[in-house]
Amino acid sequence: MAHLEEVEGIVISVRKHRERDFLVKIFTDRYGKMMFFVRGTKNPNNKLKRAIQLFSHGTYIADIRDQGLSFLRDAKDIAPYSQVQLDIFKNAYATYACGLADAALVDRVPDFNLFTQLKEGLNLMDELEEPEVILNILEIRFLRYFGVMPELRGCVICGKTEGAFDYSSKFHGLLCPEHYFEDERRYHANPKAIHFIRLFSVISFDKIGTISISEQTKKDIRYVIDMLYEELVGLKLKSKRFIDHMHEWDGVLKRPEE
Positions touching Zn ion (CB under 5 A) are 155, 157-158, 160, 176, 178-179
Which CB sits closer to Zn ion, 77 or 178?
A: 178
**CA atoms of 244 and 246, how far apart (whole Å):** 5
Residue nearest Zn ion, CB atom distance: 155
Least CB distance to Zn ion at residue 27 (A): 39
Residue 73: φ, ψ to 5°:
-100, -35
| Structure-derived torsion over alpha carbons of residues 57, 34, 95, 79, reported in degrees to the nearest 10 | -10
**CA atoms of 98 and 222, how far apart (whole Å):** 18
**CA atoms of 141 and 136, how far apart (whole Å):** 9
- SS3 (DSSP) at 120: helix
Least CB distance to Zn ion at residue 225 (A): 23
Which CB sits closer to Zn ion, 51 or 176?
A: 176
Least CB distance to Zn ion at residue 228 (A): 20
Least CB distance to Zn ion at residue 170 (A): 14
Which CB sits closer to Zn ion, 29 or 183?
A: 183
Comparing CA positions, the residue from 209, 232, 49, 53 lying closest to residue 137 is: 209
Which CB sits closer to Zn ion, 26 or 176?
A: 176
**DSSP H or E stretch at residue 33:** strand 32-38
Which CB sits closer to Zn ion, 163 or 209?
A: 163
Least CB distance to Zn ion at residue 151 (A): 12
